[in-house]
Chains A and B, each alone.
Chain A
Amino acid sequence: EPEVTQTPSHQVTQMGQEVILRCVPISNHLYFYWYRQILGQKVEFLVSFYNNEISEKSEIFDDQFSVERPDGSNFTLKIRSTKLEDSAMYFCASSEALQSYQPQHFGDGTRLSIL
Chain B
Amino acid sequence: DQQVKQNSPSLSVQEGRISILNCDYTNSMFDYFLWYKKYPAEGPTFLISISSIKDKNEDGRFTVFLNKSAKHLSLHIVPSQPGDSAVYFCAASAETSGSRLTFGEGTQLTVNP
Contacts and interface: CB of A to CB of B under 8 A. Distances in A.
Interface range on chain B (Cβ under 8 Å from partner): 20 to 34
B89 A105 contact: no
A31 interface: yes
Contacts of B1: 42, 44
B49 A48 contact: no
Contacts of A35: 101
A55 B99 contact: yes
Interface string B30-65: 011010100001111110010100000000000000
Interface in A35-59: 35, 42-45, 48, 55-56, 58
A56 B100 contact: yes
A99 B94 CA distance: 9
B59 to A, nearest CB: 12
A107 B43 contact: yes
A101 B105 contact: no
A4 interface: yes
B100 A58 contact: yes
A108 B42 CA distance: 4
Interface in A95-115: 95, 98-109
Given A44-B1, A93-B43, A108-B41, 5 more contacts: A35-B101, A43-B44, A43-B91, A55-B99, A58-B100
15 contacts: A31-B99, A33-B99, A35-B101, A43-B101, A45-B102, A56-B97, A56-B99, A93-B43, A99-B99, A100-B31, A100-B95, A103-B34, A105-B46, A108-B41, A109-B42
Q: What 8 pairs between A and B have smallest CB-CB spacing?
A: A106-B43, A56-B98, A45-B100, A100-B93, A100-B32, A43-B103, A103-B46, A108-B43
